[in-house]
Structure 1
Amino acid sequence: MMTHRKISRLAGLLYLVVVVTGMFSLAYVPSQINVADDFQATARNIVSSEPLFRYGIASFMVMQVAFLLLPLALFQLFRDVDRSAAALMVTFAVVSVPIGLASLANRLDALSLLTNPYFGQALAPAPLQAAAKASLGAYGTGLLITKLFWGLWLLPLGYLVVKSGFLPKLLGVFLMLGFLGYMVNVFGELLVPNYTLTLVSNYAGLPAAIGEIGTCLWLLLVGAREPDRSTAR
């Protein structure tokens, strides 16, 4: 059987894949492509930077596969701490994957509409861009729902980190605060006009970033201490 340290290193490696591909697909690529309040400029950037846009899509796919495997590895690590919380953590994470991949299909549709000559010949520029804009809007809506579960899984994960004793409790606190930050951002974007322009939206995700990157690096570089079997549940 794999030791806790080996399992933690595997989980850390999977977490690193999630973090790196997530930063690339969700932060870097949009920063190079999207132009606020100017879809025509965004569409031109998609066409002129098609390889980068495709790399972003591929990176998101890799992230989802890694995020499907990550909670399974973490379950092996935390199942003796609290099996119910570990199962809840897996459920929230796994549920997000099909939602995220389904939303990504809309991003692929937008790319096809803007770069496939067939659509350029079949549709005038205005309705073509309108259809592409609608596809990207649907992607954004699906991603918002996905983020709900990205936040929810952090609550049981943070609780398990705090309770386990073989990772720093402070990381668990940041993970649980990250859950709150995700909830603020998801429902703020849903309910508050122009929420993404507010100061709160810029900082609400900071605890999650600290908690997740910190947990990733600790698992990968330090590893989890072996638990005391005499107190294991």
Structure 2
Amino acid sequence: MLDRRTAPAPDRRVARATGALYLIFVLIGVCGFLLIRPHLYDVTDPVATLSQLITNDSLARVGIALELGIALSQALVALWLFRLFRSVDVVAAGAVLAFGLVNAVAILTSAAMLATAQTVAGDPSLAPGGDAEATVQFAYAISANLWGAAAIFFGLWLIPMGLLVLHSGWMPRPLGWLLIVGGVGYILSAFVTLLLPDVGAAADALTIPAVLGEFWFVGYLLIRGARSLDVSTASGPALSTPNAI
């Protein structure tokens, strides 16, 4: 790992592109998971879920498209984060890439489950045993649990991201620590949700540092880019290496 004072100067164009992709990823996630899904999926009533999917077919298909967009945008963000930070620590940057891709695959699988539910809603005869309500509810339950399990890898991708912020010296150090704490919180939230299903508010609270850290990280990349340290504190001029893949 390179010393903070001798880390190669960041490419601000790559930094801002990474911030833009991350912002797209966050916005798609908010629209798809937090806004659209609650209008379609009734956790306690399979009949209501099927009815909502039939009545709101276009909205449901937009939700599936957004779910695909989440997987696509996270894969791109993971790649661009690797491109930005690989000169700092290739192992930590590779971990961000790997954990991000695993999380993207989980969301991609969730999108496939939502698409399956919508296909059955459009043609109930395709449901096993002819029970369209149970099939649709089952598909949405799997999708929700995929999101819950994927929280582990989302937390894992925030931890090396925070370490890279700390070791690069390009961003405020408190941001790095906030991302690390947020990553740990996300991992814990996956276990709290599983082991203590009646305390959902506690699991949600564990993810607050991650949300704050992500918005700070995105905002910093978009507004400030990534700034190299003042070279007067270093033993020599900052190194400069290309950030092309």
The TM tier, using the shorter chain, reads 0.7 to 0.9
Aligned to 2:144: 140
- Alignment size in residue pairs: 227
Q: 1: CA distance between counterparts of 2:98 and 2:191? A: 21
Q: Is the 8 A contact 2:124 2:132 kept in 1?
A: no
Q: Which amino acid letter does the alignment assign opposite residue 70 of structure 1?
A: V
Residues 123-162 of structure 1 aligned to structure 2 (within 5 Å): 124=130, 127-162=131-166
Match of 2:38 among 31, 39, 42: 31
Aligned to 1:15: 22
Match of 2:85 among 70, 78, 101: 78
| 2:59 matches 1:57 | no
Q: 1: CA distance between counterparts of 2:138 and 2:69? A: 25
Q: 1: CA distance between counterparts of 2:237 and 2:75? A: 31
Aligned partner of residue 38 in structure 2, secondary structure: helix
Q: Which amino acid letter does the alignment assign opposite residue 10 of structure 1?
A: A
Aligned to 1:215: 217
Q: Is the 8 A contact 2:42 2:49 kept in 1?
A: yes
Q: Which amino acid letter does the alignment assign opposite residue 173 of structure 2?
A: K
TM-score, normalised with respect to structure 1: 0.88
| 2:186 matches 1:182 | yes
| 2:120 matches 1:90 | no
Aligned to 1:170: 174
In the TM superposition, residue 43 of structure 1 has moved relative to its aligned partner by 2.3
Unaligned runs of 5+ in 2: 1-8, 241-245
Unaligned runs of 5+ in 1: none
In the TM superposition, residue 21 of structure 1 has moved relative to its aligned partner by 0.3
Q: Which amino acid letter does the alignment assign opposite residue 77 of structure 1?
A: L
Q: Which amino acid letter does the alignment assign opposite residue 138 of structure 1?
A: I
Identity of aligned residues (%): 29
TM-score, normalised with respect to structure 2: 0.84
Aligned to 2:243: none
Q: 2: CA distance between counterparts of 1:163 and 1:71? A: 18
